[in-house]
Structure 1
Amino acid sequence: MQTRIAEIAAGLYRLSTFVPEVAAPAGFTFNQFLVLGDEPLLFHTGFRRMFPLVRDAVARILPPERLRWIAFGHYEADECGAMNEWLAVAPRAEVAHGQTACLVSLNDMADRAPRILADGEVLDIGGRRLRYLDTPHIPHGWEAGVMFEETTGTLLCGDLFTQAGDGPALTEGDVVGPAIAAEDLFRYSSLNPGMGATIRRLAALAPRTLALMHGPSFAGDGAAALGALAADYDRRVGAAMA
């Protein structure tokens, strides 16, 4: 395996590892995002066993010990499995997440106490502002949340828009259709009546880039893509309730 690096927005890097054995024969990408600033932030840590690959990729951009913030969508191995390895290599780093994640898991599992972020709180990393938004059960996990990097208009959207396969680092093509297909295949989302409203709240941010954890990042009308995804989840929820 190798971890590829691509700058998907100014000062925002996608670190991508393709694993052909997952969701074979298409395979699956596991992506982390490094946001540069006076206090650099890594969104997703990758699996614990993937740490050497991701660390070496980060080292090609900045010294890993400079990392200041560690964040992720929800508490799951591919999102935060290497959390403590990063805390060990970066002595000033702190994990930052919402109240639910911190109280339920991170206060115990993180080797250093995490920073609790309120819904809508902005984390200023020096030259960039990342707004944290609670998205409980979207797409899964009651502690789920996303971050919006205001300078570049990039939504770090975790497992939203998950798709199988390998592809370009950045696309202007369809990311909704492949996400619908992945939902049909994996059934990974926690269907609930609030899904559409929560996703439309993200659409209101009008992101210009969508940073997907599994799949290519998207450049274009992020609001339209989120709206279409919300509509599909509304359809699924309605069918399930019927």
Structure 2
Amino acid sequence: MGITNPQSGTNVEEIADGLYRINTPFIIPGDAGGFSFNQYLIVDDEPLLFHTGPRKMFSLVREALSSVIAPERLRHIAFSHVEADECGSLNEWLAVAPDAAPLCGTVAAMVSINDLADRAPVALADGESISLGRHTVRWIDTPHLPHAWECGFLMEERTRTLLCGDLFTQPGANLPALTTSDILGPSEAFRRSMDYFSHTRNADAMFERLAELDPTTLACMHGSAWSGDGAGLLRSLARSVRE
């Protein structure tokens, strides 16, 4: 593990048993702090990739994933909602993994993926789970939280890891793969500067439902993954968003 591409800084680290964070730092012109893009690989009998990365990062992510497993072993290409960094290289992954299918919520399948993807998706209903072997992932609908009607997250039940997409987005290009330090402060400062939450009226109920899953690892799409009392941190985020 470690850095897989010295030019880009793309790197891979295991953050939970059989669950790997693939990370590419990104320097934004005029912003000394930078940003980062994460994908998460669950290695099992039916390996799953959560987030594809943007299409233009496909070769970097494929190179990183190849340091863990052969890309053709993938069976599920999953994502939270339809955006370039979430599923921009979906068809490129389907091309290199001939036995894989998109894995998403029913709304994403209906409004986008049935048309956009080169292979029919596996559409999970709210609360529906699928076994990967030792690991099981459960789909949780979170419409408009933080944004997009089709938004949802996967809970990996064996490691109690919530693949939480754009929640807790942290700025910075070179953050540790996994931290126990504060991510709420940096992520909320970043959110307030860009206001990318939809502020849906149902946010409190959805945050509470996620908290009741009692995750111990939060696999964030941007910045560090986090280890600790995930339920408490999700409730703190709910209060901050409400206020």
- TM-score tier after normalising by the smaller chain length: over 0.9
Report the Cα distance in structure 2 between the residues aligned to 1:69 and 1:25, rounded to whole angstroms: 36
1:39 counterpart residue number: 46
Structure 2 counterpart of 1:222, from 208, 230, 234: 230
Q: Mark the runs of 5 or more structure 1 residues left unpaired by the alignment.
A: 236-242
Deviation, 1:25, is 2.1
Deviations 1:31-85 (A, max 9, x none): 0000011000000000001000000101000000000001011000011000000
1:239 counterpart residue number: none
Structure 1 contact 159–212 (Cα < 8 Å) conserved: yes
For 1:59-70, list aligned pairs within 5 A.
Answer: 59-70=66-77
1:172 counterpart residue number: 180
Report the Cα distance in structure 1 between the residues aligned to 2:208 and 2:236, rounded to whole angstroms: 9
Structure 2 counterpart of 1:25, from 19, 25, 32: 32
Does residue 7 (structure 1) correspond to residue 11 (structure 2)? The answer is no
Deviation, 1:22, is 6.6
Structure 1 counterpart of 2:139, from 122, 132, 137: 132
Structure 2 counterpart of 1:48, from 46, 52, 55: 55
Report the Cα distance in structure 2 between the residues aligned to 1:120 and 1:186, rounded to whole angstroms: 31
Q: What SS is found at the alignment partner of 1:26?
A: strand
Identical aligned residues as a percent: 53
Structure richer in strand, relative to its length: 2
Deviations 1:2-54 (A, max 9, x none): 31101000100000000011782211110000001100000000000100000
Report the Cα distance in structure 1 between the residues aligned to 2:25 and 2:38, rounded to whole angstroms: 9
TM-score normalized by structure 2?
0.95
Deviation, 1:198, is 0.6
Report the Cα distance in structure 2 between the residues aligned to 1:202 and 1:23, rounded to whole angstroms: 36
Q: Give the direction of change, closer, same or farther, for the CA distance of 1:21–1:217 in structure 2 (3 Å limit).
A: same
Report the Cα distance in structure 2 between the residues aligned to 1:65 and 1:195, rounded to whole angstroms: 38
2:221 counterpart residue number: 213
Equivalent position amino acid for 2:161 in 1: T
Q: Figure out how many residues of one structure are paired with residues of the other and give that number.
A: 235
Structure 1 contact 2–53 (Cα < 8 Å) conserved: no
2:240 counterpart residue number: 232
Deviation, 1:227, is 0.5
Report the Cα distance in structure 2 between the residues aligned to 1:109 and 1:23, rounded to whole angstroms: 34
Does residue 161 (structure 1) correspond to residue 199 (structure 2)? The answer is no
Report the Cα distance in structure 2 between the residues aligned to 1:217 and 1:186, rounded to whole angstroms: 21
TM-score normalized by structure 1?
0.95
